[in-house]
Structure formats: C-alpha cells, structure tokens
C-alpha cells in the first residue's frame, strides 16, 4: 500500500495553460517580433521577479527604462495579462478531482505566480477552490526552486515529506524538491502523470 497521503501540484502549465505568446501574437505582426520581445524585453527572468514578489509597477519601470520605445507593449503584460491564460488541462483536472474525492488524500498547490495576477486565475478556474491550501510565491517573496519555499509549504500545512509527492513541469523545480527531500514527479502530460502516480500506488 502506498504511504503517500499528500499530493502537491504546480499550477502553471500543469493544470493551467499560460503563455505570454497568446497576448503578444495579437500585438506584434510576426512570430520573430514576439520571440524577440519575450527574450529581450519582458523575458522569463523579468517575469519571475514578479513571481518572487516584485510589483508589476516596479517591473514595468525597470523594463521601460531599458526599452522606452516599447512602453505600451511592456504595460500590456500586466494590463492584458488575462489574455495570456489559456484553458485548463481537463485530463489533469480529472486527476485532481479523483484525488479530491478520495478521503485518503490531501491536495495542495505550490505555484510560482505573481500575487497581483493570481486572483485573475482564481476567478476563472473553479477547481482552484478544491485545494486545502495554495502557496503562491508572489505572496511570500520566495519562489521555486529556492528550498525555503518547499520548507514553507511543508511547515504551513504540516506535511510530512515522507508521505507526500510534488508535481511540477519544470525539471529545475523537480530536482530542487528531490534534493530538499520532497519526492517529485516531472509533469509531461495527463496520461504520463496518471501512469507515474499509479507506479507509486496512488489511486486516480
């Protein structure tokens, strides 16, 4: 019998499709311009600073100072952020629902997400109410793969890592969790996740 009783989900690109290209393909007329902007102006390091607790006002100020000709496009990152949200992965939502409905399991979420934009997702996706708790990086000024955020979620919700598993699409975050002592699964697809959970005797 599996000793796993707690399953911790990442959210972005596991349960929820998020991609800034959905917005910037409306703003720029070529894919090359989209990729340049998301590599040179509002890149992932810039975005992750908001995930780590920096305000978009501060992030925008920094980016506009470096790229004043792109002020409007930079401001759109926050002002039109909802247009970056895709749909939920229904296969993973089904897995989540199966776990929620089984009294054997506790489900939590650990996400790198800006505190300013997370409420938009909460309004859109009803299943975010299913979790017993969600730790949002932007609210605590920590983000994965910092080991401190893994320690925080375990302490906050009194989770024993020996009886838990963490699911994330980022190999960096999976490796950090495993190194910290929280067993982790690299997410690739709903079918792959279902098989990975079955291998550790989690019923879905």
Whether the predicted pLDDT of 41 surpasses 80: yes
Whether the predicted pLDDT of 204 surpasses 90: no
Whether the predicted pLDDT of 197 surpasses 70: yes
Q: Summarize the confidence of residues 64-68 as an average pLDDT.
A: 98
Spell out the residues 6+ positions from residue 119 whose beta carbon is closer than 8 angstroms to its own: none
* 16-18 and 133-136 beta bridge pairing: unpaired
HSE-up (13 A, CA, CB side) for residue 77: 27
Q: Summarize the confidence of residues 97-104 as an average pLDDT.
A: 96
Q: Summarize the confidence of residues 59-79 as an average pLDDT.
A: 98
The pLDDT mean for the chain works out to: 97
User: Measuring CA to CA, how many Å separate 12 from each of 70, 104, 187?
Assistant: 27, 25, 11
Q: Are the C-beta atoms of 116 and 147 separated by less than 8 Å? A: no
Whether the predicted pLDDT of 1 surpasses 70: no
- Strand order across the beta sheet in which 133-136 lies: 133-136, 106-111, 6-9, 164-168, 184-186
| Residue 65, φ and ψ in degrees, nearest 5 | -60, -35
Cα 43 to Cα 112: distance, rounded to the nearest angstrom: 15
DSSP state of 136: E
Spell out the residues 6+ positions from residue 58 whose beta carbon is closer than 8 angstroms to its own: none
Sign of the torsion angle spanned by Cα atoms 128, 165, 117, 12: negative
Whether the predicted pLDDT of 2 surpasses 70: no
Spell out the residues 6+ positions from residue 161 whose beta carbon is closer than 8 angstroms to its own: 154, 180, 181, 182, 183
Q: Summarize the confidence of residues 56-75 as an average pLDDT.
A: 98
Cα 99 to Cα 107: distance, rounded to the nearest angstrom: 7
- The pLDDT tens digits of the residues spanning 129-164 come to 999 999 999 999 999 999 999 999 999 999 999 999
Looking at residue 176, its pLDDT comes to: 98
Per CATH, is 6-17+87-199 categorized as 3.40.50.720? no
Q: Summarize the confidence of residues 27-41 as an average pLDDT.
A: 98
Structure tokens at 200: 């550790």
Number of Cβ atoms within 10 Å of the Cβ of 63: 21
């Amino acid at each position: 019998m599996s000793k796993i009783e707690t399953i911790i989900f990442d959210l972005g690109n596991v349960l929820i499709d998020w991609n800034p290209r959905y917005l910037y393909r409306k703003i720029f007329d070529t894919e090359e311009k989209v990729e340049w902007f998301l590599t040179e102006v509002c890149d992932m390091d810039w975005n992750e600073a908001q995930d780590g607790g920096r305000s978009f006002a501060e992030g925008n100020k920094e980016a506009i100072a470096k790229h004043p000709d792109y002020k409007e496009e930079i401001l759109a990152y926050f002002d039109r952020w909802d247009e970056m949200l895709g749909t939920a992965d229904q296969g993973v939502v089904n897995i989540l629902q199966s776990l929620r409905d089984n009294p054997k399991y506790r489900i939590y979420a650990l996400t790198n997400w800006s505190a300013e934009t997370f409420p938009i997702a909460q309004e859109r996706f009803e299943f975010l109410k299913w979790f017993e708790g969600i730790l949002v990086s932007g609210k605590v000024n920590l983000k994965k793969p910092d080991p401190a955020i893994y320690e925080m979620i375990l302490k906050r919700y009194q989770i024993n890592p020996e009886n838990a598993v963490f699911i994330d699409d980022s190999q960096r975050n999976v490796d950090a969790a495993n190194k910290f002592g929280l067993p982790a699964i690299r997410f690739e697809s709903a079918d792959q996740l279902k098989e990975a959970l079955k291998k550790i005797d989690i019923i879905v």
